Chains A and B, each alone.
Chain A
Amino acid sequence: MQIEIHNLTKLYDQNRGLSPISLTIQKGELIAIVGHNGAGKSTLLKMLANWIIPDNGQVTIDGIDLRNRRAVVRKVGFVPEVPNLFDFFSVEYNLKLFASLFQAPLLRVEEVLTEFNLLPFRNNKIQALSKGLKQRVNIGRALLADPPVVLCDEPTSGLDFEMTNELYRLLNTLHDAGKTILFTSHRPEEIKSLATRILVLHKGNLVFDGPPQEYFQSAVHEKLYAL
Chain B
Amino acid sequence: MMRNILALVLNDLAVALKNKTFYLVLFIPFFVFMTLKLIDQASVEVSQIKIGFIEDYVYAPQLLNNVKAAEKNLAVTWVESEKEGVHLLKEKTLDGVLLGNKKDPERTTLLVLKRESLQTLAIIEVFSALQNAVEGNPSSWISDIETLHAGGVQRQTLPTWVLMVVLLVGFLVLPAQVAEEKEKKLLLGLLQTPISEVQWLIAKVIMGMVLAMIATLIFHLLGGFAVADYFGYIIFIAAGSFCFSAYGIFLGFLCSNQASARTLGVIFYLPHLLPSALSDFSQQLTAVAPFLPSYQFYEPLKSVLLEDGRIASMPFEMIYLWLVGAFTFYLAYVLMKRRWLM
Contact = CB atoms under 8 A, between A and B. Distances in A.
Interface of A: 49-53, 69-71, 73-74, 77-78, 80, 82, 84-89, 97-98, 100-103, 141-142, 145
A53 B212 CA distance: 35
A104 B171 CA distance: 36
Contact of A101 (B7, B15, B338, B342): B7
B338 A53 contact: yes
A101 B339 contact: no
Contact of B185 (A71, A84, A88): A84
B18 A51 contact: no
Nearest to B8: A101
Contacts of B339: 51-53
Nearest to B185: A84
A22 to B, nearest CB: 23
Contact of B194 (A53, A74, A86): A74
A80 B194 contact: no
Interface of B: 3-4, 7-8, 11, 14-15, 18-19, 184-186, 188-196, 338-339, 342
A84 B188 contact: yes
Contact of A84 (B19, B186, B193, B196): B186
Contacts of A101: 4, 7-8, 190, 193-195
B192 A85 contact: no
Contacts of A100: 3, 7
A51 B186 CA distance: 11
A145 B192 CA distance: 11
Nearest to B190: A101
B15 A98 contact: no
B59 to A, nearest CB: 69
Contacts of A73: 191-194
A144 B193 CA distance: 10
8 contacts: A53-B339, A70-B194, A73-B192, A84-B186, A84-B188, A86-B186, A87-B184, A145-B193
Contacts, number: 62
Contacts of A53: 338-339
A100 B4 CA distance: 8
Given A52-B339, A53-B339, A97-B11, A89 B18 contact: yes
B216 to A, nearest CB: 27
B176 to A, nearest CB: 15
Nearest to A50: B191
Contacts of B11: 86, 97
Contacts of B196: 70
A142 B192 contact: yes
Contacts of A49: 192
Given A73-B193, A84-B189, A51 B342 contact: yes
A101 B339 CA distance: 20
A78 B185 CA distance: 12
Nearest to A82: B185
A145 B194 CA distance: 10
A186 B18 CA distance: 37
A70 to B, nearest CB: 5
A21 to B, nearest CB: 20
Nearest to B342: A51
Contacts of B193: 73, 98, 101-102, 145
B292 to A, nearest CB: 34
Nearest to B7: A100
A103 B8 CA distance: 13
A103 B184 contact: no
Contacts of B195: 70, 101
Contacts of A74: 194
Contacts of A78: 192
A98 to B, nearest CB: 6
A88 B192 contact: no
Contacts of A50: 191-192
B185 to A, nearest CB: 4
**Most central of B3, B190, B192, B194 by chain A CB within 10 Å:** B192
Nearest to B194: A70
Contacts of B192: 49-50, 73, 77-78, 142
Contacts of B190: 101
Contacts of B184: 84, 87
A118 B342 CA distance: 30
**Most central of A69, A73, A103 by chain B CB within 10 Å:** A69
A82 B189 CA distance: 11
A71 B192 CA distance: 10
